Structure 1
Amino acid sequence: MNVVPEALRSGSTLAVDYREGAERASVLYTYNYRNQSSYAERVKWLDQSEDTRLDRRAVARCLRLYNGKHNSHEAVHKALDQLEQPETLVVTGGQQSGLFTGPLLVIYKAATIIKAAREAQAELNRPVVPVFWIAGEDHDWDEVNHTYVLSSNLDLKKIKLEQQTQIRSSVSQIELASDAWDGVLQELEQLLPDSEYKQDTLLTIQNILSQSASLSDAFAKMLASMFGKYGLILLDSADPELRALEKSVFKRMIENNDLLERTYLDTAKRITDMGYELQAEAAEGAANLFYIHEGERRLLFKAEEQFVDRRGFVAFSKEALITELESHPERFSNNVLTRPLMQDSILPVLGVVLGQGEIAYWAMTRDAFEVFGLQMPVLIPRLSYTLIDPAVHKHMDRHELSFQDVLHRFDARKEAWLDSLDQLGLDGRFNEVMEQFKALYTPLVEQLEQIEKGLVKLGETNQSRILEELQFMQQRSREALARRNETGLKQWERVIQSLYPLGRPQERVYNIYQVVNRFGWTWLDELMEQPADFKQEHYTIYL
């Protein structure tokens, strides 16, 4: 494995400015992850604010139950024992549950959390445990029900898990029948090329799916199989046991809701006034909380001193909503703006690992943390990678393509390569013929006006048709040239489909099991041993 730093500029301007330490962005965050003093300052605040969070022993007991079902590794048990101790800190980060874990960036986020916790522990000389926050309370099924793999004939294929109910329920609460799992597993088996690792890979997945009642269950078990040995603690935000612990936090969110709303709105205006785009909506009257009514997750708003949903299914006064919370905490969940507050109310968060979009929308929460008696943690950019397999690397070398060429100049470079194959100079000759034709024909058409004005328009139409026919022949000759060099074109196609599919970074499209089917697990173990430089934007990994 050869790991090379490479630029991959993506994300909002605000996220880029934060990563690069721009002064104008720094006022929207509490800490600068680039400063060595940030961790020490955050630790000092955490040590002084233990009473602002839930009892860590109760949280650890809850997490033991959950990880006992899905992530029962010795290293995880040790990490949970450490979490109970007052000196232990947490590096966390999370993602929605995804089919077969979703895109590769999910794997890189888990790896970043572990690496950041490891480095912080060495730097601070005190326990720091990694926690992955599974956003199982989210209800956007279409965002998580699919994944992509590249078939052996270079077709990008989408594997989709069908939902068996139309209710907009939390992903963790949607139960899946065995035939739903069978369908996506069969698709994966058909699409993955044969390899020495294929049978073991499919058996591992099949074993996990057979024990999973929901997408979140499978997601947790798959992450556990990859990262449990590193002590990665898993937390599902939709876990009913956890909800029972969170009652006091939700109560504070309801009681202080007007102030939180005003804070989010003021911060949103501040961000836009600075010239940045918002990555999350702050709406007038938004409660920034969800209520689950008859299994469906409904966003709450405030109207006429009541908490209601848009369609009028629920309506509570503030007092009635708190009473409902006391009886049914499992019916409440956070939105994107209150989730960071919940996270810091549960865990002693030293730092949180975020992607580009998350870094941008977290800027809206800094003042809300303070309203809640909390403080925004250190934001750690997720490590970003592009995997380059030996065949793709060979094609890039053959055509003298750099990674930056693939990102920014691919079509131009491919066209230039095709032009170089045109030994007859067909493009030039066709262009020459068309120019000569226009030079001879245009004056003739203009002279026709002396005979009859209607002939000019007819002549121009005729000229356009002849030029179209010549252009058609030019295109057909180019296609014939391409067919004669089909092998070379497939090499170009494999490069772009592998590194930048759908016009997006590889890590946002492909699934880890596609990589494992080709290379096994050794590459991931090697990646976990690589030192982490969180100031580096992106790496290419030559497998």
Structure 2
Amino acid sequence: MRTDTYPMPSAQPLAEAYIHRTDSRIDSLYGYHAGADEDWQRRAERLAAAGGTRTDSAGLADALRLYNEKAGASPETFANIAAIAEGAPVVIGGQQAGLWTGPLLVIHKAVSIVRAAAEAAEQLGRPVVPVFWVAGEDHDWDEANHAYVITAEQELRKLSAARPEGSRTSVSRTAVADETWERLLGELEEALPHSEFKPAMLAELRRMSLGARSLSDMFARVISHLFGKSGLVLIDADDENVRRLEAPMFRAMIERNDELERAYAASAEKVRQLGYSMQADVTPGSANLFLFHEANGYERTLLHKRDGAFQDRKGQLSISAEQLLHIADREPEQLSNNVLTRPLMQDYLFPVLAVVLGPGEIAYWALTGEAFRVMGMEMPIIVPRMSYTLVEGTIAKYMDKYELSFDDVMNRFDEKKAAWLKVQDGLSIEQRFDDAKRAFEELYKPLLTLAAGVQPGLAKLGDTNMQKIIEQIQYMGSKTVDAFNKQFEASTRQLDRVQLAIKPLGKPQERVLNMAAYWNRYDAAWIEKLLDTPFDRTGGHRIVYL
């Protein structure tokens, strides 16, 4: 199997500093480091000593069994759930549930979780379970409702589902009708090119869609199918059974909310003093908790503290601390975490050895260290997720044909394409039109001097006239170049296909393209290649040739 490494720095300086250990000042923001083998042993020992601070592992395992059974889990996954019941540590990471799993980076995160757990298990000599946290409590429908695929006509197509009517609630609570799944499957079938695996893939997706009440349900079923052999355990943050287990932690977050607010503010100030920008809002007065309440149509509403009560932003919903504590105890499914409290809840549910995060997540987790300490916890090891670019055989062939490196495609594709076309110009069209323009100027400028000598007012008219003629020469040259380039339309299409496959919409492949095209073309082989690709605990980017 051929793979190459490629340095693909993120746009997050704080994440880069953590990954490469270029700024020792930030060590206090994170504590452990994924690249230090001794930190894995140290974290495992501390987890074992702090078992009483988490929820009951047997109760958690019961909730996980119910959820994963609905997702069509494998025997390997159920074996891992049994290990969780016995107190096995986990490597965890997650993402919002997207249509057909969303962009490829979701798959990359799942691969990273599986591989990091396997390496940790080998080092520690005990089971370490990979867990994928489906962020079904998020309510950003427009971020979750679409997938991009490359069609048989080599065009990028966005497939999407409109938000059903109703309140702006979580993705897991937003119902998707059977007829919507049929329409989405029909659009996917129409968009994808024919392949030997396409009928079986569509049949499997159609089977999964039966009874899938939401994008989150379908997301879980697809991820469970793709990573069943790896024993990946799934959890939906908005699952009612999980919410009941979270009740004591919600109560603690409400009772100590002011302390948590001060902790987030202190961490934010430290990040600022170190010269880094913030990747999550630390808003004064924010409870960092959401509420689904009858008074606001069960929309997911962020709570703020005002006048001794918890209110929505506009003050239209207002409940007392006592009422909120009652909800935490009796109806915890009405509560939901935000990005700053979710890490704490995750650590309350699981013995988290390590968490797999993307660059933006690494940056905002820096705001949570003090909050962990307030709750008598500590931040787990942060593992930067691996990223990959999948290069199919045809694309690799075109890159060789046009002498394009991966770096060329990522950073200077337009220039390389233009240069290649220019080399094909044996007629030297651009050069000859440039020569004609210069020759015209040399002949015409003495005439302008002559005209101005006859009447000074003719100088401006003559200069305008000269510029118009030059523009016409340039226009004719441009048209001639375009006509010449049409002879190379096949090559142009091949070049554009390379860019579309590797850097669609001007972005890294993983942030745009969906996994369906690769499942359609390679069945399970592409996932197996990713799982077999060399893994680095400190992240990195690999080019994987399929």
TM norm. shorter chain > 0.5: yes
Q: Kindly state the Cα deviation for residue 433 of structure 1 after the two structures are TM-superposed.
A: 2.2
Name the structure 2 match of 1:244.
244
Name the structure 1 match of 2:38.
37
Query: CA 1:314 to 1:415, structure 2 compared with 1: closer, same or farther past 3 Å?
Result: same
Name the structure 1 match of 2:363.
360
Name the structure 1 match of 2:285.
285
**After alignment, is 223-232 or 92-101 more displaced?**
223-232
8 Å CA contact 1:171–1:215 kept in 2: the answer is: yes
Pick the aligned partner of 1:505 from 500, 505, 508.
508
Name the structure 1 match of 2:466.
463
8 Å CA contact 1:380–1:534 kept in 2: the answer is: yes
Name the structure 2 match of 1:83.
84
8 Å CA contact 2:305–2:311 kept in 1: the answer is: yes
Q: Kindly state the Cα deviation for residue 148 of structure 1 after the two structures are TM-superposed.
A: 0.4
Query: Per-residue displacement from partner, 1:473-521 (whole Å, max 9, x unpaired)?
Result: 2221221122101111111101100011111111111111101111221
What is the alpha-carbon distance in structure 2 between the residues aligned to residue 364 and residue 466 of structure 1?
63
What is the alpha-carbon distance in structure 2 between the residues aligned to residue 259 and residue 456 of structure 1?
78
8 Å CA contact 2:530–2:544 kept in 1: the answer is: no
Aligned-residue Cα RMSD (Å) equals 1.7
Counterpart check, 1:418 vs 2:418: no
Question: What is the letter of the counterpart of residue 486 of structure 1?
Answer: E
8 Å CA contact 2:148–2:156 kept in 1: the answer is: yes
Name the structure 1 match of 2:440.
437
What is the alpha-carbon distance in structure 2 between the residues aligned to residue 436 and residue 261 of structure 1?
74
Counterpart check, 1:534 vs 2:523: no
TM-score, structure 2 length as denominator? 0.96
- Count of aligned pairs: 542
Query: CA 1:449 to 1:379, structure 2 compared with 1: closer, same or farther past 3 Å?
Result: same
Q: Kindly state the Cα deviation for residue 460 of structure 1 after the two structures are TM-superposed.
A: 3.6
Question: What is the letter of the counterpart of residue 372 of structure 2?
Answer: F
What is the alpha-carbon distance in structure 2 between the residues aligned to residue 9 and residue 446 of structure 1?
58
8 Å CA contact 1:162–1:180 kept in 2: the answer is: no
What is the alpha-carbon distance in structure 2 between the residues aligned to residue 444 and residue 149 of structure 1?
60
What is the alpha-carbon distance in structure 1 between the residues aligned to residue 444 and residue 284 of structure 2?
66
Q: Kindly state the Cα deviation for residue 443 of structure 1 after the two structures are TM-superposed.
A: 5.8
Query: CA 1:472 to 1:135, structure 2 compared with 1: closer, same or farther past 3 Å?
Result: same
Gaps of 5+ in 1: none
Pick the aligned partner of 1:295 from 294, 298, 321.
298
Query: Per-residue displacement from partner, 1:70-123 (whole Å, max 9, x unpaired)?
Result: 13321111111111113x101000000010011111111111111111111110
Name the structure 1 match of 2:272.
272
Question: What is the letter of the counterpart of residue 51 of structure 1?
Answer: G
Query: CA 1:536 to 1:53, structure 2 compared with 1: closer, same or farther past 3 Å?
Result: closer
Name the structure 1 match of 2:6.
6
**After alignment, is 351-360 or 132-141 more displaced?**
351-360
8 Å CA contact 2:358–2:384 kept in 1: the answer is: yes
Query: Per-residue displacement from partner, 1:286-309 (whole Å, max 9, x unpaired)?
Result: 111111132211111112222111
What is the alpha-carbon distance in structure 2 between the residues aligned to residue 308 and residue 339 of structure 1?
20
How many percent identity over aligned positions?
43
Question: What is the letter of the counterpart of residue 276 of structure 2?
Answer: Y
Name the structure 2 match of 1:51.
52
Partner SS, residue 301 of structure 1? strand
Name the structure 1 match of 2:394.
391
Counterpart check, 1:341 vs 2:344: yes
What is the alpha-carbon distance in structure 1 between the residues aligned to residue 446 and residue 381 of structure 2?
73
8 Å CA contact 1:71–1:234 kept in 2: the answer is: no
What is the alpha-carbon distance in structure 2 between the residues aligned to residue 493 and residue 33 of structure 1?
39
Partner SS, residue 142 of structure 1? helix
**After alignment, is 491-500 or 7-16 more displaced?**
7-16
Query: CA 1:285 to 1:488, structure 2 compared with 1: closer, same or farther past 3 Å?
Result: same
What is the alpha-carbon distance in structure 1 between the residues aligned to residue 468 and residue 56 of structure 2?
80
Question: What is the letter of the counterpart of residue 117 of structure 1?
Answer: A
Name the structure 2 match of 1:74.
75
What is the alpha-carbon distance in structure 1 between the residues aligned to residue 524 and residue 484 of structure 2?
41
Name the structure 1 match of 2:519.
516
Partner SS, residue 9 of structure 1? coil
8 Å CA contact 1:154–1:493 kept in 2: the answer is: no
8 Å CA contact 1:292–1:331 kept in 2: the answer is: yes
Query: CA 1:430 to 1:77, structure 2 compared with 1: closer, same or farther past 3 Å?
Result: same
8 Å CA contact 1:90–1:129 kept in 2: the answer is: yes
Partner SS, residue 132 of structure 2? strand
Question: What is the letter of the counterpart of residue 72 of structure 1?
Answer: A
Name the structure 2 match of 1:370.
373
Q: Kindly state the Cα deviation for residue 449 of structure 1 after the two structures are TM-superposed.
A: 5.2
What is the alpha-carbon distance in structure 1 between the residues aligned to residue 451 and residue 261 of structure 2?
74
Name the structure 2 match of 1:489.
492
Query: Per-residue displacement from partner, 1:113-134 (whole Å, max 9, x unpaired)?
Result: 1111111111001221111000
What is the alpha-carbon distance in structure 2 between the residues aligned to residue 13 and residue 341 of structure 1?
24
What is the alpha-carbon distance in structure 1 between the residues aligned to residue 383 and residue 449 of structure 2?
69
